[in-house]
Structure 1
Amino acid sequence: MKINDLQPKVAIMMATYNGQKYLDKQIDSILNQTYHNWELFISDDKSKDETLEILKKYQKKDSRIKKIIVNNGVHGPFTNFYNIMRFVKKNYKDEFKYFCYCDQDDIWEKSKIEFQVKKIKGFEKKFIDTPILCYSDLRLMDKNGQKSNKLLSSFTHIKLENPYNIFFSHRYVWGTTIIHNEALWDLMNIDIRIPNSVSHDNYIGKYAAAFGKIFYLDKALVNYRRHGDNVSGVPHGYNFYRGLLRAFTKFPTVLENHSKTYGSTLFFIRNVPYKNKLLDELEIALTTGGIRAERFVKEYSICTAKDIFNQIAFKLILYSGMYKYSKDFRI
């Protein structure tokens, strides 16, 4: 009996664009996983460099690189992910037990998938027939692949102690660290045209928070490359003085971020397969503001940041409803 016969099958979905400089290291880290029963699906956003040639070279090397498609629709980092997600969902129904997502420029630890599958299987035994998502910490490395001793959790509070915080902040679940089960995959509506302003990892996380369970794995399973062209940046915590400075100089940016977050949350609520009490109350809070928003924050113990200035900004923007008048609130 082959080892693959004993391992649940994992789908890995990758989005690429002009990734020739770092792509080979990421794919090598997938090929070198201690877990073997996976298949890789890739959507390329019409790269202008040698990305497609590199991908085809690896596909000849390993048949588990199952499909490479080109995104001929709306372009952008998140719509490119939705493109490959739609492809897998349409063409590989009921074939996979677990699902992972992959950026083009990071490096996975060899035990990433094996560790995550073991953990999520344990949670499934406890929470039978429940949509489950697990995500982990990341270790920072420079553009040359030199690992540091710095973890992303040292820069921002990524541990999602209250799952409902994910509807108000994008700082928690990072896509390249995700693994989730088939129950969550079956729930997700990706047939719709999702705007590029709605990040795939936060969209998936919202499904888990609304209908299932989210678990943080306190281990760095991904080496996160910082090279200046990353789609996502490293959030920063703020001490008293830095927070005060940000309150005065960066408020437009804070408002813009909240506007995008609340807009993507309303998009999510209005496209789920069914609503529950949480989502009904959340929609009222976001569309009404004021007392209804304050009641929601208190009822669900929402707190998206530890420093006082971010807390004040969060409540001011939400309660006043000023985000609805921002040019970034488009959904």
Structure 2
Amino acid sequence: MSFNQPLVSIILTSYNYDKYIGQTIESVLSQSYQNWELIVSDDGSRDRSLEIIYSYQDNRIQVLTSETNQGAGQAYNKAYALCQGKYICSLDSDDYIAPDKLEKQVAFLESHPETDILGTFIIEINAKSQIIHETHEAWFNQDLNLNYPENWIWRNHLCHSSMMMRKELHDRVGLFNNQLIHTPDYEFWIRCFVSQCHFDILTENLTFYRSHGENITHKNPPRAFLETAYIFVKYFKRFLVEKQRNDLINQYVFLFLKNENYSNASITIKSNLLQQLVCTEAVKFQDFDSFAQILQNSSNHSLLVNLLDEYKLQVDGTQVQLQDTRSQLNHLLVRIQKLQEDKDWLQSQYNVWQQKAKESQRAWEESRLSVQELQEGKDWLQSQYNVWQQKAKEAQRAWEESRLSVQELQEGKDWLQSQYNVWQQKAKEAQRAWEKSQLSVQELQEGKDWLQSQYNIWRQKAEESHTQVERLQLQLQQAQAELERSQSHLQQAQAELERSQSHLQQTQAELEELYETFKKLENSKLWKLNKVWHSLKARIFQKIT
């Protein structure tokens, strides 16, 4: 368990219940909460009870015995003197408890410091331990607030064997009344109640209450009746007078007069009981024995008339209070009718708002689905953006490469242009030399062959450049299809390539024209240029170099 485990002292009172006491002790030994001590107080049993008790060898069990039967209250008080625990449990020897009873009650009391006495619901069983669900179960298993006085009028809803309380409660309220045979527990509960102790009930069936016809409360009903009257007069009546609860006093007297034991009592006991129950100046007494002696006192018969007169005055006062209550009730009925109308209006408003709430709920669901779809669309667009961003980077790299290629082509074009200018200059010089010197055909043929080889070389370079331009153009077109944002740059590069191609074509045409010129020179068969060509040959190569 997560909390500290305080010691629980269990007081087991025993008297001639050898048929059941073994099961009672076994239920204690089987508890899930093991920090307990068991004090068994045997009140002079004449059966095998002590033999069964001593058969349990557990150092947590202590046994007290008595030569004579002194009553359950005395047996309890003797055992209490040995208790060392923080909490006290009381257990009758014909009852037994569920395995988790101590654990749950300790947990509740540890977490509810305001609670002084804690009971539980019961399971009613018979002598054979069979569940029977009869009157006692219906009586004890009521979810009542025992901190209200009306729940203690002529009734005891707290099962004695289900109780766990704080040990210091006996210091505040006292021990059990030894003189009471049938109702010591009820008398103790009433003393606790008028002392402002706090009660709570665990609404779990943790106590097995045995109903077998031999219960002590069934053996002498007239005695139990007088003990109940004594408890009321001694403690409860004074409390109700102080609280001005005459309604509860009248209710108690009414239930008392209807009791069969009152009807069967002698006129002396009846008159004395009425005096004690109703009169505020009744004969005083100290304990139950003196109370019982007063009830037998025949000298109080003359008080019966005065008693009835006083009770009549109380009844008349009650009648006046009843009339006032009726007028107040009529006023309340009017208010209730008005409240009912207000309730109907509020109900209609509630229905309208409930309908609007449903519509709002549907709208919210639709908007939630729309938001979900938008989120999915956003994710898809984000993925497309990432793809195009990657393609843009690749296109950028391709454009950079093509730009470098175009730059190289431009440099090649410039170089070819310079070469073309050189050869054009040389052609002019050759033309002038041809016109001037009429070089021989052989020298021209050699020059033609050499020029042809140079032409082939430059033509090959031009074709390679053309092929490279076409390849770059294809790459630029592909990049243009993938990334439209780069189209303008690619178009500019393509235009540059086309201009380069045009220049190359012009260069090719000029070279072909030069070739035709040399071809014409070859066909002229001007052998006289041969000698001149040899003289110019060295000069031409020198200039080319």
Give the TM-score category using the shorter length. 0.5 to 0.7
1:112-170 CA-to-partner distances (Å, cap 9, x unmatched) read 1111111222221xx2xxx6101122111121112245573424675543533476434
Matched, 1:132 2:116: yes
**SS of equivalent residue, structure 1 residue 220:** strand
Specify the alignment match of 1:296 in structure 2: 245
Select 2:21's aligned residue among 20, 23, 26: 23
Matched, 1:321 2:321: no
The answer as to whether partners of 1:184 and 1:207 remain within 8 angstroms in 2 is no
Q: Counterpart of 1:42 in structure 2: which amino acid? A: V
- Kindly state the Cα deviation for residue 205 of structure 1 after the two structures are TM-superposed: 1.4
Tell me the TM-score normalized by structure 2: 0.43
Matched, 1:114 2:103: yes
Specify the alignment match of 1:79 in structure 2: 74
- Kindly state the Cα deviation for residue 31 of structure 1 after the two structures are TM-superposed: 0.3
- Kindly state the Cα deviation for residue 42 of structure 1 after the two structures are TM-superposed: 1.4
Select 1:260's aligned residue among 202, 224, 227: 227
Specify the alignment match of 1:283 in structure 2: 238
Gap change, CA 1:284 and 1:41, over 3 Å in 2: closer
Select 1:56's aligned residue among 54, 76, 79: 54
Gap change, CA 1:320 and 1:295, over 3 Å in 2: farther
Q: Counterpart of 1:113 in structure 2: which amino acid? A: L
Specify the alignment match of 2:39 in structure 1: 41
The answer as to whether partners of 2:233 and 2:276 remain within 8 angstroms in 1 is no
Specify the alignment match of 1:330 in structure 2: 292
Q: Return 5+ residue gaps in structure 1 as ranges.
A: 234-252, 270-278, 286-291
- Kindly state the Cα deviation for residue 32 of structure 1 after the two structures are TM-superposed: 0.1
1:169-197 CA-to-partner distances (Å, cap 9, x unmatched) read 3422221010111331321323x963034
Measured in 2, the distance between the counterparts of 1:39 and 1:219 equals 24
Specify the alignment match of 2:11 in structure 1: 13
- Kindly state the Cα deviation for residue 224 of structure 1 after the two structures are TM-superposed: 1.4
The answer as to whether partners of 2:71 and 2:178 remain within 8 angstroms in 1 is no
Identity %: 20
Select 1:212's aligned residue among 162, 178, 197: 197
Gap change, CA 1:327 and 1:57, over 3 Å in 2: closer
**SS of equivalent residue, structure 2 residue 216:** coil
Measured in 2, the distance between the counterparts of 1:303 and 1:161 equals 19
Measured in 1, the distance between the counterparts of 2:276 and 2:202 equals 36
Q: Counterpart of 2:120 in structure 1: which amino acid? A: S
Specify the alignment match of 2:440 in structure 1: none
Measured in 1, the distance between the counterparts of 2:2 and 2:28 equals 16
Measured in 2, the distance between the counterparts of 1:159 and 1:256 equals 29
Map 1:158-197 → 2, pairs under 5 A: 159-163=143-147, 164-165=149-150, 168-190=153-175, 194-197=178-181
Measured in 2, the distance between the counterparts of 1:4 and 1:64 equals 23
- Kindly state the Cα deviation for residue 208 of structure 1 after the two structures are TM-superposed: 2.8
**SS of equivalent residue, structure 1 residue 180:** strand
Measured in 2, the distance between the counterparts of 1:118 and 1:202 equals 25
- Kindly state the Cα deviation for residue 102 of structure 1 after the two structures are TM-superposed: 0.6
Q: Return 5+ residue gaps in structure 2 as ranges.
A: 263-269, 294-545
- Kindly state the Cα deviation for residue 51 of structure 1 after the two structures are TM-superposed: 0.9
The answer as to whether partners of 2:71 and 2:181 remain within 8 angstroms in 1 is no
Q: Counterpart of 2:60 in structure 1: which amino acid? A: R
Measured in 2, the distance between the counterparts of 1:283 and 1:157 equals 29
Gap change, CA 1:104 and 1:73, over 3 Å in 2: same
- Of Structure 1 and Structure 2, the greater strand share is in 1
Gap change, CA 1:266 and 1:312, over 3 Å in 2: closer
1:245-272 CA-to-partner distances (Å, cap 9, x unmatched) read xxxxxxxx7x8655321313555x5xxx
Q: Counterpart of 1:176 in structure 2: which amino acid? A: S
Q: Counterpart of 2:112 in structure 1: which amino acid? A: F
> Whose radius of gyration is greater, 1 or 2?
2
Specify the alignment match of 2:396 in structure 1: none
Measured in 1, the distance between the counterparts of 2:2 and 2:93 equals 25
Map 1:216-255 → 2, pairs under 5 A: 216-232=201-217
The answer as to whether partners of 1:17 and 1:47 remain within 8 angstroms in 2 is yes
The answer as to whether partners of 1:106 and 1:225 remain within 8 angstroms in 2 is yes
Gap change, CA 1:40 and 1:162, over 3 Å in 2: closer
The answer as to whether partners of 1:4 and 1:37 remain within 8 angstroms in 2 is no
- Kindly state the Cα deviation for residue 9 of structure 1 after the two structures are TM-superposed: 0.7
Specify the alignment match of 1:248 in structure 2: none
Higher relative contact order (CA 8 A, sep 6+): 1
The answer as to whether partners of 1:12 and 1:101 remain within 8 angstroms in 2 is yes
Question: How many residues are matched?
Answer: 271
- Of Structure 1 and Structure 2, the greater helix share is in 2
Measured in 1, the distance between the counterparts of 2:211 and 2:53 equals 22
Measured in 2, the distance between the counterparts of 1:302 and 1:63 equals 52
Select 1:103's aligned residue among 88, 92, 107: 92
Q: Counterpart of 1:259 in structure 2: which amino acid? A: L
The answer as to whether partners of 2:14 and 2:93 remain within 8 angstroms in 1 is yes
Q: Counterpart of 2:75 in structure 1: which amino acid? A: N
Gap change, CA 1:79 and 1:170, over 3 Å in 2: farther
